[in-house]
């Protein structure tokens, strides 16, 4: 039965002012689809990239890649979900900034009863990102050292705890002493205030000149060269975001000159394209949370109609932990 749901939509790219709230018509799910009524949805930098046009979308387009709520209806060919189930997801296409939506079911995951909807909305995209960074990108073993930028953000605080739970040494960076303290509290072995220190030089000091095994960098342009300079020979650079802008073209010889370095630019959505892998990643994340290895910290909450303010806070790097929109 058709109904409407308040939904955040963009008709053009630009600043937070292009975000509009509209009543959108939603119907019943078709084959392989579900209809979910959200309790909360997550805020992520990919939403900003899409709003700005860095990641182009066909317009008009609803935004949001992460949400949690109750399954209202299930189309044919959806064996893992039924009406009334609690569920959470990080998935394409965008559209999570909404009271309810119809969407493909493959990447929607049953949510354990012990995990709240706000936690589910805050952790799926960020937590599964950490899962693939630590388990599906390059081999890591107990005792290895990782440099993780933006360690006090939503992804970063999960990464600090994940590293601690697996015996990895994580050196973080953050933009203030207060944010550094937050990262340390969540499991970072050290955290560098990049506004007051040269982080690459500080990493060398912390590793007795050796450098780190892996850099996980979601900042992009501002940290790229320093990240390369923080690696030991044969180290791996994982560039997985562009918070300061995309990395400009560079000479591959830079990698040879710095010790035969390796580099990759993965995305979560490549990893979760396989439905079985997506469900496995979610279960790994859920187990970390339910065992207490990871606590999901939600430091900012906005109403759905305050989404522009939420975007402004995220872009200004005024947030810590995760941010959710309450529906």
Domain boundaries, the chain: 3-125+269-326, 138-265
Cα distance between the two ends of the chain: 21
- pLDDT for 2 equals 59
CB burial readout 134-166, b (16+ within 10 A) else e: beebbebeeebbbbbbbbbbbbbbbbbbbbbeb
Cβ–Cβ < 8 Å for 52, 44: no
Residue range 138-265 forms a domain whose CATH class is alpha beta
CB 244 within 8 A of CB 221: yes
Tokens 């710095």 belong to which residue? 258
Q: Are 7 and 97 in contact (CB under 8 A)?
A: yes
CB proximity list for 27: less than 8 A, separation 6 or greater:
1, 2, 3, 102
pTM of the model: 0.94
Please give the chain's pLDDT, 327 residues, in tens. 459 999 999 999 999 999 999 999 999 999 999 999 999 999 999 999 999 999 999 999 999 999 999 999 999 999 999 999 999 999 999 999 999 999 999 999 999 999 999 999 999 999 999 999 999 999 999 999 999 999 999 999 999 999 999 999 999 999 999 999 999 999 999 999 999 999 999 999 999 999 999 999 999 999 999 999 999 999 999 999 988 888 999 999 999 999 999 999 999 999 999 999 999 999 999 999 999 999 999 999 999 999 999 999 999 989 988 999 999
Q: Kindly state the DSSP code that residue 138 receives in the 8-state scheme.
A: S
- Looking at residue 157, the DSSP 8-state letter turns out to be H
User: 193-230 burial string, b = 16+ CB within 10 Å, else e?
Assistant: bbeeeebbebbbebbeeebbbbbbbbbbebbbebbbbb
Q: For domain 3-125+269-326, which CATH number applies: 3.20.20.140, 1.10.287.110, 1.10.150.110, 3.90.180.10?
A: 3.90.180.10
Cα angle at 141 between 284 and 243, to 5 degrees?
Answer: 65
């Amino acid at each position: 039965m058709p109904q409407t749901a308040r939904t955040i939509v963009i008709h053009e790219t630009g600043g937070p002012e292009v975000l509009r709230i509209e009543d959108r018509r939603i119907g019943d799910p078709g084959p392989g689809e579900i209809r979910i009524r959200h309790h909360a949805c997550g805020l992520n930098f990919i939403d900003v990239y899409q709003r700005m046009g860095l990641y182009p979308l066909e317009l008009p387009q609803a935004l949001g890649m992460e949400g949690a709520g109750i399954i209202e209806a299930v189309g044919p060919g959806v064996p893992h979900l039924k009406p009334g189930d609690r569920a959470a997801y990080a998935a394409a296409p965008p559209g999570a900034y909404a009271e309810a939506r119809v969407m493909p079911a493959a990447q929607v995951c049953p949510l354990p009863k012990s995990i709240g909807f706000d936690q589910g909305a805050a952790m799926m995209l960020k937590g599964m990102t950490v899962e693939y960074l630590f388990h599906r990108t390059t081999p890591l073993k107990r005792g290895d050292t990782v440099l993780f930028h933006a360690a006090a953000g939503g992804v970063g605080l999960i990464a600090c705890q994940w590293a601690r739970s697996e015996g990895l040494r994580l050196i973080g960076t953050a933009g203030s002493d207060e944010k550094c303290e937050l990262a340390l509290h969540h499991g970072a072995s050290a955290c560098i205030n990049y506004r007051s220190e040269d982080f690459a030089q500080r990493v060398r000091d912390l590793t007795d000149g050796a450098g780190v095994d892996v850099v996980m960098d979601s900042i992009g342009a501002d940290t790229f060269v320093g990240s390369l300079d923080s690696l030991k020979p044969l180290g791996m650079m994982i560039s997985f975001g562009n918070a300061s802008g995309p990395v400009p073209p560079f000479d591959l010889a830079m990698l040879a000159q710095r010790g035969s370095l390796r580099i990759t630019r993965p995305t979560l959505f490549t990893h979760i394209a396989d439905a079985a892998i997506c469900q496995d990643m979610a279960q790994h994340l859920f187990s970390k949370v339910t065992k207490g290895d990871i606590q999901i910290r939600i430091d900012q909450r906005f109403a759905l109609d305050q989404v522009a303010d939420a975007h402004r806070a995220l872009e200004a790097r005024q947030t810590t932990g995760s941010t959710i929109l309450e529906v």
